[in-house]
Structure 1
């Protein structure tokens, strides 16, 4: 039995990151059912219950070092771990875990990571020094390849794949229908999902989203449903947008599993999202999507499936967003078929991450 340790932003009630872990475990276990996997988590108890794997606290450095000493491979990823825009300290933490693995001579793979932006001389130099010593890097987009090149990281084998979540299997829509029914959002009307987050204390984009949501209800007779990807923060963000609306809306108030969120998204006729993994969930479930960019990772994902953001978060206006909605609404059947073909390729690239990890283990 081979031992694998996984480091990432897990156990923090972020649906996108939990979906990444679920997809990673799903594909790795398909390829090698005998793998023993331990996850470094902010909430080990939640990770054990949610994913059925061993877990250790991200603060228990002594235990982590012992695990790494016995491990056959450290996987760092997926997601945007190596960046210092949303948090300066997290970059040094994830680099520190990689450094510990290298210290005890455990091979390291960066798995489907979105690299950067990394700013500051010290941060760039430290990243270059440590990451150039890992064995394998897969990145989820070509923008991350460019960031690696800018940083001077060229020694490991590097391959562009796709976000790990894209490898996850689509789910049945019944669980989502039950949740919508429980929140009085059932019925024959079309459903437009909105996934929003707070960012930098800005409020202008919330006004634009509220105006657009009202017009969607009036024009298309649709039901607007706000979907939280990070609990409870996104519930509060959704409520602050909804409070600016005049038409009826539904804010889903709960903390949902990856399967439940996928099922919910599958019941949408259109998904409008600031959150990256709400967009990816829409892709997995074959739902037309509209992305609003606040970070290069949004632009990079949309570019990978031939899409562009409807606007930037700091300059978003209701007319611009509604123009994107009209385009998607009028051609949503054709868009479903077009995106399905593009995402089929992306699913193969996402599975490639696990295949490369197994190859590295076998070496």
Structure 2
């Protein structure tokens, strides 16, 4: 019998990290069971279907969502930072509502490699605790999320710490990235430092810092700086606002890319300096040394999982601190590549385990029943 899975997450919104999570999830689930039927709830169903080759329904189409869940064996909620209310207060309740629908229909429910929290406020904590304790399985991508679950009093489901789904994705060839660099006249013999930024609240301090660091990288290292947009087009605007502050040449990539193209681009870089979590994770997948600047606990948690820590946060990072870390990584690139590769190999296995656990959950069940 064909097994059916509905996937709920922040998909179809032109965010490279979330699209990569979905691509990795589909890749590993498909490897394990090529006959799976997967339906993805998306902000842009046409884009999701075209990009990932799956059935997709609108995140606002409640009748379609109910119908898909009714015929499903499993709801996967994730991955990513869906269950938090710092970047958006309303989205937490939306994702919990989808989970609640599946629970009411007595379907299996898995929180898939989620980054839990921060969740702030009595009502949000109560809703998360009540619904979280009704799901069948929770995997989280870091130990900080385990601590948040414990703080919230979510103890009834099986809970396991795995890793971000993107870490299970296969590395790609670098040719596509080289072709994109060539189109932007950013190819040649110079080494490349990638910078991935985002706008955050009303912070502007970090933009001055990043512009100075970009200039110093060009002058001191003889490298080319390329800004990589992970959320389109918002990150393009953020990168352009930094490029306007620079005095040395830099390149801002201004197009929307597939997960494979992003990985290929990052693979052609010698160092990745990022505010975006999945720019760091792409660097890990492609064996590129990385430097993170924190704006959210998920950055700190991922870097801790590979034995590193961020160089300050958006509101206090300095150009001197960043350049000191850039020089340290630059001078010993081979050492950091080797060390990161060893740690990431373990995380890659844990990332793949998410899909294995999902299929175990529905392996011996009768459709529509719940343990």
TM bin, normalised by shorter chain, reads over 0.9
Partner of 1:337: 338
Distance 2:222 2:330 in 1: 12
Distance 1:249 1:331 in 2: 24
Q: Deviations over 1:119-162 (max 9, x none)?
A: 00000000000010000000000000000000000000000000
Distance 1:200 1:73 in 2: 36
Partner of 1:203: 204
Distance 2:57 2:33 in 1: 22
Partner of 1:5: 6
Residue 310 of structure 2: SS of its match in structure 1?
A: coil
Distance 1:358 1:300 in 2: 27
Distance 2:147 2:273 in 1: 28
The answer for unaligned runs of 5 or more in structure 2 is 365-371
Partner of 1:121: 122
Partner of 1:137: 138
Distance 1:256 1:5 in 2: 25
Residue 25 of structure 1: SS of its match in structure 2?
A: helix
Residue 203 of structure 2: SS of its match in structure 1?
A: coil
Residue 345 of structure 1: SS of its match in structure 2?
A: helix
Partner of 2:38: 37
Distance 2:320 2:139 in 1: 38
Is 1:238 matched with 2:239? yes
Q: CA deviation at 1:224?
A: 0.3
The answer for unaligned runs of 5 or more in structure 1 is none
Q: CA deviation at 1:361?
A: 1.2
Q: CA deviation at 1:278?
A: 0.1
**TM-score between both structures, scaled by the size of structure 2:** 0.98
Distance 1:173 1:78 in 2: 26
Distance 2:156 2:90 in 1: 25
- RMSD over aligned CA atoms reads 0.4
Runs of 4 or more off by more than 6 Å in structure 1? Answer: none
Partner of 1:176: 177
Q: CA deviation at 1:311?
A: 1.1
Is 1:111 matched with 2:105? no
**TM-score between both structures, scaled by the size of structure 1:** 1.00
Residue 160 of structure 2: SS of its match in structure 1?
A: strand
Distance 2:271 2:170 in 1: 20
Partner of 1:263: 264
Q: CA deviation at 1:66?
A: 1.1
Q: Deviations over 1:105-124 (max 9, x none)?
A: 11100000000000000000
Q: CA deviation at 1:310?
A: 1.1
